[in-house]
Structures are given as structure tokens and as C-alpha cells.
Chain A
Amino acid sequence: MSRLLWIACACLAMMIISLTVGFRQIAPAVYFDVLNTYDPTDPAHVTLASIRLPRLAAGLIAGAALGVAGTVMQAITRNPLADPGILGVNAGAAFFLLLGTTILGRADEAIVATLAFPGAALASAAVFALGGGLRGDVGPVRLTLAGAALNALLLSLVTGIVLVRQDSLDVFRFWVAGSLTQATTRPLLEMAMVACAGGLLALAVAPQIEALSHGKEMSRGLGTRPGRVQAAALLIVTMTTGAAVAVAGPLAFLGLMVPPLARLLVGHRMRAELVAAALLGATILLGADTLGRLLLAPSEIRAGVMTALLGGPVFLWLARRIRPGATT
């Protein structure tokens, strides 16, 4: 329990750093002024309220959601390489979102953002089925390759749409990399609620997921119904990944590196793991975003690029350790 407290402290510290670091220096007193008397003519106030706070919120939502999504995916598929980015779930959500933007125009961000959910649901169901999930043997190599194929297909379609529309490469650059810079235009409150609901559902079915992660036979013996748990897991992954993509775009590798780290810190207890993964996900994403803002200031490196640079080596390290042929 005390470990969880430490992680929470780290997350809080990262939140404060993320708020204070940036191109514009802001005096500590101003933070309290914003809370008491918000002055829309003061540039420092505006920077805080309309740039840094939404950014912080988006980072918290996307980071925590992807941490939970990764943990659930890795447990249910028994695949240490499972990650919404690598398995194409992010790309599915992004594809539907972009399709919506293209067809509907960008009239209503909130309505368009809800398209991320059917996209994430279809992609995660597809990759699970294609990777051998229906027959109950999702080997890591299989699932990862199926994910890579799905990812390539969806990204080709995304590229196609963007190039046909011609209107902005910048939209594409944003959608491919994932970023917190457009947080102000995102439906933060709605997505926070969806992500929280997904997280709570994950906590509720955590024991069943844990049972299933020991294998189907074992879980039946423990009185769990694998079909139902898998359906719940699909729902959780859809809600969390959809919310994350809607606020921050397709961030890869975060869901990959957070779960092993969480397990290392709090041990094999699903509920504690989920809480730790949510906190760690938010901390790492905010850290990556802050670092990306500092490295090349005044321009910035997108958070998605930073998480990929951090997560790529983790992927390689894990890939080396997998014994092909084994299902765990």
C-alpha cells in the first residue's frame, strides 16, 4: 500500500512540474490568483487556464487510460507485448475519428470524438480474433504480427484520407504522433468520465481477469466464465483507449511499458496493479510531454514521439526474452 502512495506522490509532483514548466515563466503567486480571481486580460492567467490546465487534464486522462488499457490487454492475452498502439486499437480509433472529421466536418468535436469508441472496439475485436483469440490460444508472436498488419492497414487508410482531403498535413502529423497540444479543443470532461467508468469497471472485474490470466482451464476451475470476462475486458479496452485517442491521439508504447513497471512496484495483485498503472501512465505521459516541451524549446517534440522513443527499447528488451512457441 505504501508503494502506491509513493507512486501517487510522484504523479502529483509530475503534475506540478508539468504546470510550472513552459515557455512562459509564471510566478508562484499567480497560481493562487487564478483560483481566486481569474483575470482574462492577464496573459499569465490565460496561459494557465486555457493552455496548461487543459494540457494537464488531457495528460492525466490519456496516461491513466492507456495504463489501464495496457494492463488489461496484457493480462487477458498473456502477451507482454500487448499495447493499444502496437495492436492497432489506437489506429482503429484514430481512423474512425478522422473519417468522422472528414465526413461531418469539424463542427462538433464532442460528437466526432465519440467515433473513437466504435473504432477502438472494432479494432480490438478484430485483432483478438485474427490473433487466434477465438480458438483460445493467443500467442505473443501471432498477436503482435496481427496487430502490426492491422496497424499498417489502418494507417494506410488514414494516409489515404488525409492526402485525398489535401487540407492539412498538420492534422495527420498530429494524428500519427499523438500529442497533448490540442487539448483545449478536445472534449475533456466527457472523455474523463468515460475513462473513469472504464477504470472502475476494470477494478470491478480485476479478480476475474486475474483468474483468466492463469489460463482458461484454471479460470473455469475457479468459477469464472471466460467469455464474459473477455467481453468485459473488450469493453474496458474500448472505453479507455477510445477516451485516450479522443483527447491525445494515438499514443504508442505507453500501454506497453507501464504494466511491467507497475507489477515491479506493487507485485502481482491485479487491483493494485491497475491503480499503479493508471498513476504511472499519467506520470510518464506528463513527464514525456514536459520533456518534449523543454528539449527543443521554443518548438516542441510531441508526447507521442517521446513515449515511442522511451517505449521502443522496452519493446526490444521484452521481445528478446519471449520464447517462441510458448503461449505465455
Chain B
Amino acid sequence: MRAALLLPLLLLVATVTALMSGQASIGLPLLWEGLVTGEGPGALMLDTIRGPRVATAIGAGGVLGLSGFIFQTLFRNPLASPDILGFTPGAGLAIVAAITFHLNVPMPLVSAAGGIAAALLVALLAIRRGHETPPLTLILVGLGVGFFSSAFSTFVMTVLPHSEAAEAQRWLTGSLAARDWGHVAQVWWPGLLLVLLAIAQARNLAGLELGNDLASGLGLRTETVLWLLAVTGVLLAATGVAVAGPVPFVALMAGPLGIRITGARTHTSRMLAAAGTGALVLTLADLAARTALPGIVLPAGVMTGILGAPYLLWRLSREMEKGTL
């Protein structure tokens, strides 16, 4: 029970710290006063300056984390996260293209379309009928689709005029700068819906983890269940990308870290742990990006890249020792 409380506590501390520190620091008493009375500098901070940013970080990190956990469990491989599989780069490309052509479509829809297109492309290229698809082939093909999407995003960026290119660049790195309550609503409402949808499928995920034969023996229609879970996972990732950009490595780290922190056993609690840890990681990364260098605000994606890459390498060495790679 104590372990289960640790994660919410960490998240609370991170949130409060993120609200307090930055270019202009603010003390806890003022923040509290702002929250209770709705007036003063604390309220300004909560309402316009830092509140929406932190809320967006929590929401986006949560959906990315849960998406990572779903794919890692689905493919029984800790490397199979939506960023490695090319889904988040695909969603990012769609958004940059939408910025370029001044499309008047809501960002989550654009992002979802990009993510689903990338996922279909990966599935189409990796899966061969009548053959078992090894997760590693999926990962390699996903990496390729990711490389290709990033190259295409760079291409779009090079044809943009300077000011728009700067916007697109921040976007592609993964940034939480200048978010408002509109962004918060964009990530929290679809996010909550998708989290519920995912939790409803927790038993199916557990069943699939037993292996295809055993699962179908238990009466699970494995193919349908697998596709439903995959679509939920892609939509979760796309929801995060729609407001925060394709922040690297959050989805990759959240699941395993969350299980380590909470010691969760059932799939439902693991899902919640992954979402909570994703929120924690992104909030802390954004906080670090804002405060690491005085006077400079870096995009959060720079931090998750710098922290996440060593994690991926460590994970890789672990997998190598186990002999699964």
C-alpha cells in the first residue's frame, strides 16, 4: 500500500515544484493564496503563466506513458514504444504539414491521422500473411518509418519561411511553451476517455500476454483484441503529440519505471502506474528544461532526449545480457 502511494506523492511534489519555479519564482504561500482566493500573483501564475503548461505536461505525459506500456506489453518487448515504432514521428510530421498548409483542422485529429497512418505503414511493411512477425522486425521497420517521417519533417521545415520554421522546430523537438487551457482540454478530455477505454481492455492485454495459443484457448479472439488495443495505443500517443509534440523517450521509460516505483502487479494498476510515471517524467523534464540554464527556456524534448537516450542504451545492454536481442 505504501508503494502505491509513492507515485501520487511524487507527482504532487513535482507539480507543486513545477508551478513554483521558473523564470519568475513564486513561494508556496502565495500559490496557496492564489488557489484559494483566486486573486494575487499566485492566481496569475496558476491561471495563465504556469498552470496550463504544467497541466498540459501532466496530461501529455500520462497518455504517452500509457501508450508505451500498451505496446511494450502487447509485443512483449521493452523497446516497442510508440516513438521507437515510428508512430509519434508520424504524428509529428502530420502536424508540421498542417502548420505548413495552414489547415483548419483540430490538432488532435491531424495528429491522430498521422499516427494511424504511420502505424498502418509499419504493420503493412512488417507483417507478412501466414508468418509469425517477430517483434524485432516490427521495431526495425518502425525505426525506419520514424527515420523517414523525421526526414520528411525536416524537408517541410526547410521550405518554410524563417518564422514558421522556428515554430515547427520547437514543435518537432517537443515543447510545452505557451500552452493555454485550450491545450489542456485537448489532451485531458480525449485522454481520460482513452485511459478508461484502455483500462476496460486490461484483461484482454493480460490474456494476450500469455501467448496467442493460450489466449485463444481462453476464448479470446486474439486478432480483434490485438487491433483494438493497438488502435487505443496509437490514439493515446497521438493525443499526447497533438499538444506537446513528439517528445522523445517518455513513452519508452514510463512503463518499466512505473512498475519499478509502484511494484504494481495487475494490468489495471500497471496501466495507471505507467500513465502516472509518464506525467511525472514529462513534468520533471519540462521543469528541468526551464530551470537548468538561468535565463534560457529549452523545449522539454531536449531534456527527455538527453535523459532518455542513456536509458535506452542501458535497456539495450540489459536486453543483450538476457540474450533477447
Task: Tell whether B178 is near chain A: CB-to-CB under 8 Å.
Answer: no
Question: In the complex where A142-B320, A309-B155 touch, is A149 in contact with B143 (Cβ < 8 A)?
Answer: no
B97 within 8 A of A: no
Taking a contact as CB atoms under 8 Å apart, the answer to whether A319 and B143 are in contact is yes
Instruction: Report chain A residues within 8 Å CB of B144.
Output: 312, 315-316, 319
**Segment 291-307 of A: residues with Cβ below 8 Å from B:** 296, 299, 301-302, 304-305
In chain A, positions 301-328 with a C-beta closer than 8 Å to chain B are: 301-302, 304-305, 308-309, 312-313, 315-316, 319-320, 322, 324-325
Chain B residues contacting A153 (CB-CB under 8 Å) are: 305-306, 309-310
Residues on the A chain within 8 Å of B152, using CB: 308-309
From B169, B173, B325, contact of A141 by CB (8 A): B325
User: In this assembly, does B5 line the interface, its C-beta being within 8 Å of a C-beta of chain A?
Assistant: no
B162 A170 Cβ-Cβ under 8 A: yes
Cβ–Cβ contact B166 & A169, under 8 A: yes
Asked whether A319 lies within 8 Å of B140 as measured between CB atoms, the reply is yes
Measured in the bound complex, the distance between the Cα atoms of B303 and A324 in whole Å is 32
Distance between B83 CB and nearest chain A CB, rounded to angstroms = 9
Whether the Cβ atoms of B298 and A164 lie closer than 8 Å is yes
The CA of A325 and the CA of B325, in the complex, are separated in Å by 6
Inter-chain contact B249/A312, CB cutoff 8 Å: no
Please name the residue on chain B nearest to A147 by beta carbon.
B143
Identify which of A34-42, A172-180, A189-197, A238-246 touches chain B.
A172-180
When chains A and B are docked, how far (Å) is the Cα of A157 from the Cα of B292? Answer: 13
CB neighbours of B320 from chain A (8 A)? 132, 142
Query: Please, what's the 1-or-0 string for B143-154, where 1 marks a CB less than 8 Å from any CB in chain A?
Result: 111011001101
Task: Tell me whether A299 and B151 are in contact in the complex, defined as CB-CB below 8 angstroms, given that A81-B140, A142-B320, A160-B302 are known contacts.
Answer: no
Cβ contact within 8 Å between B316 and A145 = yes
A130 within 8 A of B: yes
- Say if the beta carbon of B36 comes within 8 Å of chain A: no
Give complex CA distance A325, B143 in Å.
17
Contact A301 to B151, CB < 8 A, known contacts A141-B140, A149-B316: no
Interface residues on A, range: 35 or more
Contact B143 A312 (CB under 8 A): no
Q: Are A169 and B306 in contact (CB under 8 A)?
A: no
Taking the closest CB of chain A, its distance from the CB of B114, in whole angstroms, is 16
A130 close to B316 (CB less than 8 A) = yes
The DSSP consensus for interface residues of chain A is helix
| Contact across chains for A312 and B151 when beta carbons are under 8 A apart | yes
Q: Which of A173, A305, A320 contacts B151 (CB 8 A)?
A: A305
Q: How far is the CA of A276 from the CA of B196 in the complex (A)?
A: 57
Select the stretch in B13-21, B50-58, B131-139 that faces chain A: B131-139
A159 on the B face (CB < 8 A): yes
When distances are taken between beta carbons in the complex, the residues of chain A under 8 Å from B299 are 159, 163
Q: Does B37 contact A (CB under 8 A)?
A: no
Name the contact of B325 in the complex, choosing from A142, A148, A316 (C-beta under 8 A): A142
Q: Are A312 and B147 in contact (CB under 8 A)?
A: yes
- Knowing A142-B316, A146-B313, A322-B140 touch, does A163 contact B306 (C-beta < 8 A)? no
B243 at the interface (CB under 8 A from A): no
> Is there a chain B Cβ closer than 8 Å to A93's Cβ?
no
Partner of B139, one of A141, A252, A325: A141
Q: How far is the CA of A156 from the CA of B158 in the complex (A)?
A: 19
Contacts of A313 in B (CB 8 A): 148
The residues of A that contact B308 with a CB separation of less than 8 Å are 152
CA of A170 to CA of B306, assembled, Å? 22
Residues of A within 8 A of B301 (CB): 156, 159
Q: Does chain B have a CB within 8 A of A139?
A: yes
Decide: B155 and A301 in contact? CB cutoff 8 A: yes
A26 interfacial contact with B, CB 8 Å: no
For residue A144, CB closer than 8 A to chain B, the reply is: yes
Known A173-B158, A322-B140; judge A309-B151 contact (CB<8 A). Answer: yes
Please measure, in the bound complex, the distance between the C-alpha atom of A229 and the C-alpha atom of B316, giving whole angstroms.
26
Q: Are A305 and B249 in contact, CB atoms less than 8 angstroms apart?
A: no
Chain A residue numbers with a CB within 8 Å of B249 are 152
The answer to whether A86 and B147 have CB atoms under 8 Å apart is yes
A155 interface hit (Cβ, 8 Å): yes
Contact indicator A305/B155 (Cβ below 8 Å):
yes
Chain A residues whose C-beta falls within 8 Å of the C-beta of B155 in the assembled complex: 177, 301-302, 305, 308-309
A-B contacts, 22 listed (Cβ < 8 Å): A86-B147, A140-B140, A141-B139, A142-B316, A145-B143, A145-B316, A148-B143, A152-B249, A152-B312, A156-B302, A156-B304, A156-B309, A159-B299, A159-B301, A169-B169, A173-B165, A252-B147, A253-B151, A305-B154, A312-B144, A316-B144, A316-B145
